[in-house]
Amino acid sequence: METKVLQIEGMSCAHCRRAVAEALRELEGVSSVEVDLEGGKATVSYDPAQVTEAALQAAVEEAGYTVVAG
What's 27's DSSP letter? S
Neighbours of 36 (CB within 10 A): 13
Rounded Cα distance between 37 and 12, Å, is 7
pLDDT of residue 63 exceeding 80, the answer is: yes
Give the C-alpha separation, 51 to 42, whole Å: 16
| Sequence spans of domains, the chain | 2-69
| Mean pLDDT, the chain, whole residue set | 95
Per-residue pLDDT, 11: 93
The CATH class, in words, for 2-69 is alpha beta
Contact 3, 51 (CB under 8 A): no
What is the rounded average pLDDT of the residues 42-62? Answer: 97
Predicted TM-score (pTM) of this structure:
0.90
